[in-house]
Structure 1
Amino acid sequence: MVVVVENHSLAQMRDQMPYTYALATRYGYATDYRAITHPSLPNYLAMVSGDTQGVTNDDPPAKHRLSAPTVFGAALAAGRTAGVYADAMPSPCASDNAGRYAVRHNPWAYFVTERADCGRQDLPISALPGAIRAGKLPNAGMLVPDACNDAHDCSLATADRWFRTWMGRIVAGPDWRSGRLAVVLTADEDDKHSGNHVLTVVAHPSLRAKVVTSRLDHYSLARLYAEVTATAPLGRAAGAPSMAKAFGLPVAG
């Protein structure tokens, strides 16, 4: 399950997200993880498709009708599960901004060839508590905060509290207790002042204070999706350093 906050550097996240950084030091984090570019949207596309798809702005899906495969579609095609839970989203796979829901932070909505799957599996956050309780969190998952809870429009302290609330629920659920679930928190990009150097936390019951100093990036995250779903890495993820290897995570056979 991947969670993304907005527009802050490693130093800012470390200093202003005390719960998140405590989780990092308890389980694991990367000290040299880099976003790919600016602005937001191409970074999200890189995470889920292994490429920025030539996108250089934050325009909505009507302006970017992408036909490349995603990690979610690849997981479903392999008989595994995929799902996105989006905070403040008014309807499944919504392709327009609405209130604090920012579609540019929900990348699956841009891939037209997977629109039907997105409509079934890219859901408002109200669907998340039931999935946690039932032990049915997806093999390839993403949890999308709204534009306040991801620290875009509000503080990192707000994002930290939001993440703490959901992590409390997640770690009480059967997916986490069984050891089959890893949670990754990263930032889409920094504030353009730190070389796109962002904090990336990896939490899994098997990890104990793991610090990864080797270079990783959003293509590595796309590769991690492939590794945990036993699917082929997409695009540039195929040549990216392995997060599973770097952190020593158990992955699908």
Structure 2
Amino acid sequence: MRSFILSTLVLATNVAAQAENTYTATATSDVAKAAATAKTLSPVTHVKGKAFDRLAIVWLENTDYDMAIGDPNLAWLAKKGVTLTNYHSLTHPSQPNYIGSISGDYLGMQHDDFTQIDGNVSTVIDLLEDKGISWGEYQEDMPYSGFEGFAYVNQQNGKNDYVRKHNPAVSYNANARSLDRLAVIKNLTTFYKDLAANTLPQWMFITPNMTSDGHDSDITTAGTWTRSFLEPLLNDKRFMQNTLVLVTFDENETYTIQNRVLAILLGDAVPASLVGTQDDTYYNHYSELATVEANWDLHTLGRWDVGANVFKLVGDKTGDKPRSWSGPVPLADMYFNSSYAGPLNEEVGGSKRYPGPNLTSVCGGGRRTVLPSIKKAWQGNPAPVYYDSGLEVPDGQHPPAGYAPTS
């Protein structure tokens, strides 16, 4: 039986509208009934960014850097943009990378089980909504908008085509308790409807199914799907409206080498002078957060997003300078292949307390501070805080203070 990760902190969220995980049934009749009545929204906003006005994030699965860049279709996409040659995942397996990429920490997770994360743990969604920026997720083969189930199999071949672990927003109770937030977590087919209606959001996370993303297939399948999806869009003015596209992978496949993955930046927001170039700056999945925060001058989450490098082509417009990794452990000795202890870790001992965000952290030359609602929710909470504004992030072999694994 799948474990349900529950927490001990009191939930504190202002978006509560229902009990989380209401829409999890997968029986044919239940899905048909829910699909017929599921709330679906396509909010539209036009908030100008400093380097881009729209961000589309596409994640693929479980491929070493050299194997990914060797795929002819991904290599073709790389020539259309900027290849990030020093981009790292956070840990293994898939799910902690997905959840960490939108909240600034994977909270010790080392599994792909059904997870609910406390309602007072905020994500990029809170930051975007604070500035009135529309967002959405597009999940291939998700049965209907707002589905919260563990997986949904292909009704023709029985494959696990949609999986919750690749849907970062739905694992956070702050989102699962809001009908309006669930309503913008939609099937990929609605992407094309929104494209036709000019109702695409400004921030979007796009997840192919388990075949298309290479998880249950291979890099050739993933590369073919990605080029087939993106190539028409690169010349579509309905999509290319000062748009930045990030294509990357959740994690590499080989656990005995450094967890480095391919990442490519594309779109009409990429300056012509940078097309076909490489960027060797150190980045990781937290850089996705830092880049969004810098571009729209958002608040921060007070976690590892604060110290992450902003993508250089964006930093050139925002004033955020790329930094190099500097000890005490050299980057070459950091493998990011295992998770430290924490509230979502099912295996190792150590602290199970949710760490608190660093409420005093600032970045961007003092312009970006922690979101006021986060400060209100966590002020006075005795939870330990291990975040700083440094670039260097921990892994299982080099855990944050107080979160070392124990036997």
TM-score calculated relative to the size of structure 1: 0.90
Q: 1:67 to 1:101 in 2, by over 3 A?
A: farther
Segments of structure 2 that go 5 or more residues without pairing to the other structure are 1-55, 154-160, 319-407
| Partner SS, residue 42 of structure 1 | helix
Q: How does 1:6-21 map to 2 (within 5 A)?
A: 6-16=61-71, 18-21=72-75
- Aligned counterparts of 1:70 and 1:76: Cα–Cα separation in 2: 10
Runs of 4 or more consecutive aligned structure 1 residues displaced over 4 Å after TM superposition: 246-251
- Aligned counterparts of 1:163 and 1:66: Cα–Cα separation in 2: 33
Q: Please say which of residues 35-44 and 69-78 is displaced more in the overlay.
A: 69-78
**Residues 1:155 and 2:223 are matched in the alignment:** no
**Residues 1:26 and 2:93 are matched in the alignment:** no
1:102 aligned partner: 163
| Alpha-carbon distance, 1:154 to partner | 0.7
| Alpha-carbon distance, 1:249 to partner | 6.8
Instruction: Give the structure with the larger helix fraction.
Output: 1
Q: How does 1:234-245 map to 2 (within 5 A)?
A: 234=301, 235-243=303-311, 245=312
**Residues 1:187 and 2:249 are matched in the alignment:** yes
Q: 1:122 to 1:70 in 2, by over 3 A?
A: same
Query: Is the 2:293–2:300 contact (alpha carbons within 8 Å) kept by the matching residues of 1?
Result: yes
Q: 1:112 to 1:249 in 2, by over 3 A?
A: farther
| Alpha-carbon distance, 1:66 to partner | 5.3
Identity of aligned residues (%): 24
Of 118, 130, 147 in structure 1, the residue corresponding to residue 193 of structure 2 is 130
Q: Which has the higher contact order (CA 8 A, sep 6+)?
A: 1
Q: 1:194 to 1:138 in 2, by over 3 A?
A: farther
Q: How many residues align?
A: 248
**Residues 1:57 and 2:111 are matched in the alignment:** yes
| Partner SS, residue 174 of structure 1 | coil
Q: 1:85 to 1:229 in 2, by over 3 A?
A: farther
Letter in 2 for 1:104: K
1:141 aligned partner: 204
The CA RMSD over aligned residues, in Å, is 2.1
| Partner SS, residue 22 of structure 1 | helix
| Alpha-carbon distance, 1:120 to partner | 1.4
Greater gyration radius:
2
**Residues 1:231 and 2:298 are matched in the alignment:** yes
| Alpha-carbon distance, 1:163 to partner | 1.1
Query: Is the 1:136–1:175 contact (alpha carbons within 8 Å) kept by the matching residues of 2?
Result: no
Letter in 1 for 2:278: V
